[in-house]
Every structure is written in C-alpha cells, then in structure tokens.
Structure 1
Amino acid sequence: MEAIAVREQQYKTYILSDVAAQAQLEVVPERGGIITQWRIRDREILYLDAERFANPELSVRGGIPILFPICGNLPENTYTHQGRQYTLKQHGFARDLPWEVTDTTTADPISITLVLNSNDRTRALYPFDFQVAFTYQLKGNTLEIRQRYTNQSAEPMPFSTGLHPYFVSSDKTQLKFDIPSDQYADQRTKTTHFFNGDFDFNSDEIDAAFLNVSSQSANVTDASRQLQLTLSYDESYSIVVFWTVKGKDFYCLEPWSAPRNALNSGDRLIYLDPGASCETRVCLSATFF
C-alpha cells in the first residue's frame, strides 16, 4: 500500500509512504523542491539542520538540495555569456526557489513530480528560458530521482546539474568507501591525491572531487549504523564529490555532471538545442545489515 499525505506547517510538506516497506519520504516544494527526510523502518537516512531549514534567508544544509544550472562555484561568482557578465552563486538558484507540484501518484511505485520554470528572477542570473521537472519515486528501500531539462530559449542552453545529499553519520571513522576512481582533486587546496578508500577525518573539512569515475555507482558502508548506501547514476554524471565538515554528523556524496566553473571553461557542460529536452537519473538505495 502506498499513500501521500500533506502536512501544513512553516512549509507545505508532502509525505510519501511505502507502507509495506516501512519507508517514508518528505518533500518540500517551496524550499527548493528539496527532499528533507527519508526514513526506512523509522531509521533516518538523511541529515537535516532544522534551524537553517527554518530560516528562508539561509541555504539548506541537509536533505537533498538540487544543483542547477551549475555545480560548485564560479570564480568571484561570475561567468560570461555573449560578452555580458552574469553573477551566479554556488550551486545555482534551483535550491533556493519555490517549485510547483504538477503530479502525484499512489500507484506502485509512489511518486511526486515538481517543476521549476524560468522567470524574471532566474533570467537576471541565467539568460535562458527553461523548464526543469523532477520526479521523486519511492519503492521499498530505493529512492529514484528522474529529471527532465527542457530548453525553451531561441539559442542553445548550457548547464550542469547535480544533487547534494546529506547522509547521517555520527562516527565517520566507521565509514568505508567504494568510489570508482583511484584519485581525487582537493577542491580547497587544488591538489590531486591518490585514493585508497579512506579519508583523514581529522581534517576540518574534506572537499574531494573524483573527476573521472569509471562506473555508474558508488557505495558507502557505515558500520556504526549497519547501513550500506548505494548511489547510482546515469552517464550524464562523470563526477562524484565527497564533502564533510569536522564535528558535524553528516557526509555528502554528490553526483555532478560537470566540474566547478564549467560555465566559463565549457568542461563537460550539457548543451541543449532550442526546444530540446534531456533526461537524467539518479538512484539511492539503503540496506541495513
């Protein structure tokens, strides 16, 4: 049995439930279309800083923020298009804007679809007309995120896209990683390091970009929670970023389609012709052992 409920509080929250699997997903459209919670058998998979979430002036730290039309940041938050300079802050604007629910279904699998359309505010930052549609689908212990990007402009539209999931972990020394790459770029120091499956969690911050993953999935095993998480993604995503901060009970494993500064460098940007659409897909699966 599947069900969708709506809870009216500071933000309208849609609650998707797969009753048989004891799985539940919470989605807040007006706060960047974000997934805020994902539970399986009353065990929370995602981290959420509730205080930041309640403050609309702050970006959300937690859940699964949406990255569009860039991943990461730009030098001085600027890029140039057709000779004009634009300002775009880190990870773009999709995570800060209200999205609209356009469809829900309680069929198997249960899902909700949200849409973000370009408007005067987005065009001042990113001079393109677009529609982005996300479908969140919950089935058992798997969350599938299907995305559709449509260029409604009269010229080709460049962009990158990604997700920024925050996973709960109270003891990061118990984490084991299987990421399909043997080296990463430290995005803070601009240095490259070989990767043997471990990170130094004594560091104040870890921001590691695996810039050329060799397969379409990565795994993290958390022995302290007896939990294995699998992140899978289609070939649109060639980068996986690991990020965490010392003293905080979270880590992030993020699929990106292009690296930082791609709007300036052109590296791995997606270009959509006028009127064209493309679709991408990311899946998260959680297994307790």
Structure 2
Amino acid sequence: MSNPTGAQFEITRGAARAVVTEIGAGLRAFEIGGVPYLETFDADARPPKGAGQVLLPWPNRTRGATWVYQGEEQALEVTEPARGNAIHGLTRHREWTLVEHAESSITLEIEVEKQAGWPVPLHARIRYEIAPRELTVTHEIRNEGEAPIGVGVGTHPYFRIGDVPTDELTLTLSATRVRPYVEGAWPFADEQDVEGTEYDFSSGRVLAGVSLDTAFTGLAAADDGRHHHVLTHGERGVDLWTDPDFRWVQAFTPDELTGRGRAIALEPMTCPADALNSGTDLIELPPGGSWRGSWGVKVHG
C-alpha cells in the first residue's frame, strides 16, 4: 500500500464531495462547494485520534481487553497499552473489499474472522451515499457463525463548519443521561442524569471552555424517529442524525488534531464502552441473523 489508508475513493453529487478510505472504510473528507464539514487529514497519514474510522464489532473500549462469552473468558489484543484496554474494534486498520463504486455512492465489505478474543465470525458492509447537502452512512452486520453473538458499531467523525474555530461552535445534544469522563485506567463514571449538570447540552452551549471525552445516552427521538445532534454557528449548521439503534453518542474535544487546534468528534454508537462485558445495548445476532442501521450528516445554511 502506498499509504496507511490504502486507496482513496471519491463520491460526488453536485457540489458535495466525500472521500472514503480502503483501509478501515473510513470517512476522510466531506465538503460542499469546497467548504469542509469534516476534519480531514492527508491521504499518506494515519487517521489522527481515530478520525473518520469505523468501530466494529465494538466501539470505544473493552475494559482490560477481556470479556466473557458463553462462560469462557476472551482475551483481546491490548490496543490501548497505556490503560490496558482493547479499543475501537477489529477492522479499522484492515483492508475492506470494494463491492460497488458509483458516482454518488460506494459500498465496501469485510469478514471478521473467528480469532483470539472474538469467537464468532461476522460479515459487515458499509455504504456511503452523498446528496447535494447530505451524507448517509448505512451499516450492515451478519452473523456467519453457528452461535449467537452480541455486537456493536460506531464511527469517529470530527465535524467542523468551514474555517470557524471549534470554540465558536454551539453544540446541542438530544441526551438526558451521561457517563462522565474520569482519570484512570477505566475513564468512565457511572451513568447519571444531565439535568442541572455541566453535561446538559439540550439547549445548546458554546464549546469555548468545554472539555469532553464523554458518552451520552437517553437520546430523545425527534418527530422523524431519529436522534439529532447539532453543531451551529449563526445560520449555519451540521445536523448529525442517527437511527434509533444508535442509542449513544460520544463527544470528544482534543486540544489538537490536524493543525487547526481544538476539534470536536461526535461519535454515533449503538452501545457504550465495555458493552461486551455489561451487555448494555448490544445488538444480539442469532446464527445467520443480520442488522442494519444508518446515520447521516445534513448541512444547513
């Protein structure tokens, strides 16, 4: 491979453009009329802090890189050495197979083989489809094994509105519950209500002075049945919508990402950290069973 993310696949519709990577099937760019709505990175660079990556078959962390399946302990590779956890699944550094590449859409797939720490094989697909003001991402997972398995999926996009500094953006989340970040090997506290706390973003808050590496849940569905998380600046906005099965969203504000300073990741997730151990909101797949779910980004203004 000529670069860490493999081939670069472009899709366009009108003035809208997105770039998807072969390694990890990640989203490397999304722009409209040359205005970026996603923090991007060079094609010959590794995705910084997981930028745009697909998190499968679990998002976030598995505590201690171990979990129990049908009474047997499973030992995953430790991929967060500083804390001793397994982070963000098994597919983000693997080559996905191109299924279809049209002008405005692309589909890739991958096999998740039975391996150390993962006892049941899976087949996964992802489809990106671009419209003049919107990008839709659809995930499919099928159990290829002979036993049931619980799985999760997430993604790791960092959003922006053109060249507006992250600290000037207003964040609104449709969340009523939160797992705050705490320092330590396991960085998440118990779930609590957001009302009356610094984690209440239901009415929108400017990001200046806000530091997050935080999982939110208790998501309220809008009239269209979807969850909506929104970044705005004046009349301009980025609406991250998710299907009901994406019951969690992780907000992450690193101080530096790609040379622009502070960034904001909004990560749709079907389950929280350590769901392989807790079982919380896992997608249960019987042998031969499958699941499909979508999220997307719509640009306003």
CA contact (8 A) 2:174 2:228 kept: yes
1:74-112: CA deviation from partner (whole Å, max 9, x where unpaired): 222221223133215211122121101011223xxx211
Asked if structure 2 preserves the Cα contact closer than 8 Å seen for 1:176 and 1:222, the reply is yes
Amino acid at match of 1:34: G
Of 238, 244, 248, 1:235 maps to 244
Counterpart selection for 1:25 from 5, 15, 18: 18
Partners of 1:212 and 1:227 lie apart in 2 by 26
CA distance in 1, matches of 2:2, 2:10: 13
Among 100, 106, 128, the alignment partner of 1:112 is: 106
Matches within 5 A, 1:69-88: 69-82=57-70, 83-88=72-77
Shift of 1:246: 2.6
* Equivalent position amino acid for 1:244 in 2: T
The 10-residue stretch of structure 1 (246-255 or 97-106) with the greater mean CA deviation from structure 2:
246-255
Shift of 1:183: 4.2
Question: Contact 1:236–1:257 at 8 Å: present in 2 too?
Answer: yes
**2 CA distance for matches of 1:277 and 1:283?**
21
| Paired residues, number | 267
How has the CA–CA distance of structure 1 residues 199 and 67 changed in structure 2, closer, same or farther, with 3 Å as cutoff? farther
Residue identity (%): 21
Give 1:180's aligned residue: 174
**Which amino acid is the alignment partner of residue 223 of structure 1?**
H
Match for residue 64 of structure 1?
A: 52
Alignment match, 2:117: 125
Corresponding position of 1:54: 45
Alignment of 1:154-173 (within 5 A): 154-168=146-160, 171-173=165-167
Secondary structure in structure 2 of the residue aligned to 1:54: coil
User: What is the match of residue 93 of structure 2?
Assistant: 96
**Could you list the per-position Cα deviations for residues 128-187 of structure 1 after superposition, in whole angstroms to 9, with x for gaps in the alignment?**
111100011011111111111110000002111111111136523322222112442213
Code of the aligned partner of 1:17: T
TM-score (norm 1): 0.84
Q: Is the 8 A contact 2:253 2:265 kept in 1?
A: yes
Amino acid in structure 1 at the alignment position of 2:116: A
- Partner residue, 2:298: 285
Partner of 1:5: none
Query: Are the aligned partners of 1:175 and 1:220 in contact in 2 as well (CA < 8 Å)?
Result: no
- Equivalence for 1:3: none
Q: CA RMSD in A?
A: 2.3
Unaligned runs of 5+ in 1: 1-7
- Indicate the residue corresponding to 1:36 in structure 2: 28
**5+ residue gaps, structure 2:** 78-85, 183-187
Quote how far apart the aligned CAs of 1:49 are.
4.2
Does the CA contact (< 8 Å) of 1:23 and 1:40 recur in 2? yes
Alignment map for 1:137-152 (pairs within 5 Å) = 137-152=129-144
Q: Is the 8 A contact 1:219 1:228 kept in 2?
A: no
TM-score (norm 2): 0.81
**Shift of the alpha carbon at 1:278?**
1.2
Asked if residue 211 in structure 1 is aligned to residue 217 in structure 2, the reply is yes
